[in-house]
Amino acid sequence: MGRRHIQQAEAPGQDSFLDVVANLVGIMIILIIVVGVATKKAIVEAGVASTNAATSSDDPGSTDAGRSDVDSLDELQSTAAALAADIAQTEMRLRRDQIEIAYRKAERERLLAGLSVARKVIEQQREHLNDEEKARFDLARQLDNASAEFRELSAASESVKRLQTPTGIIDHLPTPMAKTVFGKEIHFRLNQGRIVQVPWDELVEKLKADAPRKAPRLRDSTTITETLGPVSGFWMKYTLRLSTETATVRGATVREQRVLFDHFVMIPVSEEIGEPMREALQPGSEFNATLQGLNPDRTTVTVWVYPDSFNAYRELKQYLFGRGFLCAARPLPADHPLGGSPNGSRSSAQ
């Protein structure tokens, strides 16, 4: 009786404690819900207020800033869309490549399986042969393998040949720094592939002797032109002019007249004079006979060359270099005579 009384006295106390705990938990849940709803409402109201403030502001700068933010957002969205499209295309290509790889792998395995079966069949057939037939069979198989290897090497060689560019040989002559010619100089004319010696020194000497005799003719004219020759197939035309200078001496004007040499040109009697280049470079030619009596260390060969003979001049220069001669080129325009004047320049030899 006593134990039953004690149990009946403790039961109401436990129920009350559980009720209190349940009530506290319920209150806490209700408080959390209320706080969450209030927070959400406050966030929404703050966003609406900031939007209204941006749209209703009287400052133009704020409107521009809002538009700038919108433009930046649109640009970011476009960039994101483009990146997403690129990623999608890349993934699609990767899937296609994976499918291709899987297909090629399966095809390779199939070919390897077929090759293995073929080898087994060949070995089985070989076992039924006698020794002589086996030897012939092995030789035939080696020949087939060698032929296949030869075809592969030939194909590779043809591919390499197609890739290679033809090699050209460029002749090179050592060209030292050019130096002005002051020693003995011998002149040649190279035109239409024909070379001929120009009687430069002979005609210049005739000019020196003839000019003083013709100078008195300048009393009737300010210039005169005279002709000399022909010498070794060339005419020389030279021009003299009268120069008048005025000076003041002790208050009086004095005029002084002088005869001056103006220029000269050399004209061949025919365009066909001279030797063709191939003949000139052969032993016994007139060109070689001219070089025979010259000292290469003291003589410079000057070539007056026309545009149609530039290639021939290169061959001539190589030949002269082999003979030890310095060579000076005097390029001339087509149909322009060779000549000289007091204002001209000396040759530069290489």
DSSP-derived secondary structure for 179-244 = EE--SEEEEEEEETTEEEEE-HHHHHHHHHHHHHHHGGGGGS-SEEEEEEEEETTEEEEEEEEEEE
Q: How many CA atoms lie within 13 A of 51 on its CB side?
A: 7
Average pLDDT value for residue range 303-328: 91
Average pLDDT value for residue range 31-51: 63
| Claim to verify: residue 147 and residue 224 sit in the same structural domain | no
State the Cα–Cα distance between residues 104 and 36, nearest whole angstrom.
60
| Claim to verify: residue 202 and residue 277 sit in the same structural domain | yes
Whether the predicted pLDDT of 93 surpasses 70: yes
pLDDT value for 209: 93
| Claim to verify: residue 148 and residue 248 sit in the same structural domain | no
Dihedral sign from CA coordinates of 270, 271, 274, 276: negative
Residue 318 structural domain: 179-349
| Claim to verify: residue 201 and residue 280 sit in the same structural domain | yes
**Reported confidence tier of residue 178, pLDDT bands at 50, 70, 90:** very low
Give the whole-number percent of the chain exceeding pLDDT 70: 73
**Reported confidence tier of residue 313, pLDDT bands at 50, 70, 90:** very high
Range ranked top by mean pLDDT from 63-72, 216-225, 242-251 = 216-225
pLDDT value for 195: 95
Average pLDDT value for residue range 333-348: 78
Give the whole-number percent of the chain exceeding pLDDT 90: 28
| Claim to verify: residue 261 and residue 328 sit in the same structural domain | yes
Q: How many CA atoms lie within 13 A of 341 on its CB side?
A: 11
Q: How many CA atoms lie within 13 A of 196 on its CB side?
A: 21
3-state secondary structure of 261: strand
Number of domains the chain contains: 2
Whether the predicted pLDDT of 293 surpasses 50: yes
State the Cα–Cα distance between residues 189 and 240, nearest whole angstrom.
25
| Claim to verify: residue 294 and residue 340 sit in the same structural domain | yes
Averaged pLDDT of the chain: 78
**Reported confidence tier of residue 193, pLDDT bands at 50, 70, 90:** very high
Average pLDDT value for residue range 54-82: 64
**Reported confidence tier of residue 35, pLDDT bands at 50, 70, 90:** low
| Claim to verify: residue 154 and residue 299 sit in the same structural domain | no
Taking the whole predicted model, whether its pTM rises above 0.75 is answered as no
State the Cα–Cα distance between residues 119 and 278, nearest whole angstrom.
70
Whether the predicted pLDDT of 92 surpasses 50: yes
| Claim to verify: residue 154 and residue 293 sit in the same structural domain | no
Strand partners, 296: none
State the Cα–Cα distance between residues 265 and 263, nearest whole angstrom.
7
Residues 113-149, buried b or exposed e (16+ Cβ, 10 A)? eeeeeeeeeeeeeeeeeeeeeeeeeeeeeeeeeeeee
